[in-house]
Amino acid sequence: MSIKINEYELPDSLTGPYGITTGLDGAIWFTANKGNKIGRINLTGDITEYNIPTIEARPLIITSGQNEDLWFTENKANKIAKITIDGDITEYDIPTLNAGPYGIAINDDVIWFTEINANKIGRLDKAGRITEYNLPNEGSYPAMIVSGPDGALWFTENQGNRIGKITVDGEISTYEIPTVASGPVGICAGTDEDIWFAQIIGNKICRMTKEGIITEYPLPTQNAKPHAVVSDKKGEIWFTEWGSNKIGRLQIDGKIEEYKIPTLNAEPHGLVIGPDGAVWFAEECGKIGQIVF
């Protein structure tokens, strides 16, 4: 596949873009973790930034809601926040202190999030009430979370070496990963209705059926440290390689291709398929990347 990688520099290279998503307004939205901002970049590269009210909130993961709002986690501030497409921000305090909110997902207009320090899954309902669910295994370190095709929420247990599932009623199941100490992080729902996730330590991309059967695909580059994953409309899985400075693509036939990012030490993290069909990704070095075909 012939590709081109574009990179767009942020006004401040030290803001540390991390999470990224597509908004219902047709733009790409991202968190500036170190800059304490939420950013918006349109498809021609114009960037707008919005300051978060809480100082040193450390925003991480962002996702798009059902009514043009976007939701994100404030890891250090211990809050879940909402931003409108006009830039207005509302914040919600998490009951557990120092919970460390990380991943976030939306299911039927209800917000679900992981509490990486507290070993819990949180739920923020439409009335603004937060419910927390304790994980069955200590030290699981829940990271990313996604709404699955079965209506449940699926999440990675980075230190527990498991994939977890929580139903909308709060019932939790977990599934062991075959590779020991694999360090699962990113997770997404594929068009094949299976769950896909990245092993940052195991150096693999994995497919998991709803029944818990896991297939692992080793990466060609050693110590690539795959971080985030996303599925495109064709069912191919794209992922960031934080350790090798590449973007990877797992084709339906299992073949893996890798694309080098032009900027050295870009530190790619979140990625998303944009409304233009391109793959957009956040570079902690202070840029937003775009792969066009």
pLDDT at 66: 81
pLDDT at 195: 98
Average pLDDT rounded to a whole number, residues 226-246: 97
Above pLDDT 70, what percent of the chain?
Answer: 100
| Average per-residue pLDDT for the chain | 97
Question: Is the pLDDT score of 126 beyond 80?
Answer: yes
Question: What is the four-CA torsion angle of 73, 77, 80, 86, rounded to 10 degrees?
Answer: -80
Q: Which domains does the chain have, with CATH numbers?
A: 4-292 (2.130.10.10)
Average pLDDT rounded to a whole number, residues 223-234: 97
Could you tell me the two tokens for 87?
A: 């830039």
| Per-residue pLDDT tens digits for 28-53 | 999 999 999 999 999 999 999 999 99
pLDDT at 85: 95
Among the listed residues 58, 46, 68, 65, the one whose alpha carbon sits nearest the alpha carbon of residue 19: 58
pLDDT at 256: 98
Categorize the per-residue pLDDT at 1 as very low, low, confident or very high, splitting at 50, 70 and 90: confident
Amino acid found at 166 = I
Among the listed residues 185, 177, 225, 201, the one whose alpha carbon sits nearest the alpha carbon of residue 102: 185
Categorize the per-residue pLDDT at 89 as very low, low, confident or very high, splitting at 50, 70 and 90: very high
Amino acid found at 5 = I
The verdict on whether 269 is a catalytic residue reads yes
Question: Is the pLDDT score of 208 beyond 80?
Answer: yes
Q: Which of 165, 246, 249, 269 is catalytic?
A: 269
Distance (Å, rounded) from C-alpha 173 to C-alpha 53? 37
> Whole-structure pTM over 0.75, yes or no?
yes
pLDDT at 49: 98
Categorize the per-residue pLDDT at 131 as very low, low, confident or very high, splitting at 50, 70 and 90: very high
Q: What is the DSSP letter of 67?
A: S
Average pLDDT rounded to a whole number, residues 258-283: 98
Distance (Å, rounded) from C-alpha 19 to C-alpha 10? 14
| Per-residue pLDDT tens digits for 144-200 | 999 999 999 999 999 999 999 999 999 999 999 999 999 999 999 999 999 999 999
Question: Is the pLDDT score of 210 beyond 90?
Answer: no
Above pLDDT 90, what percent of the chain?
Answer: 98
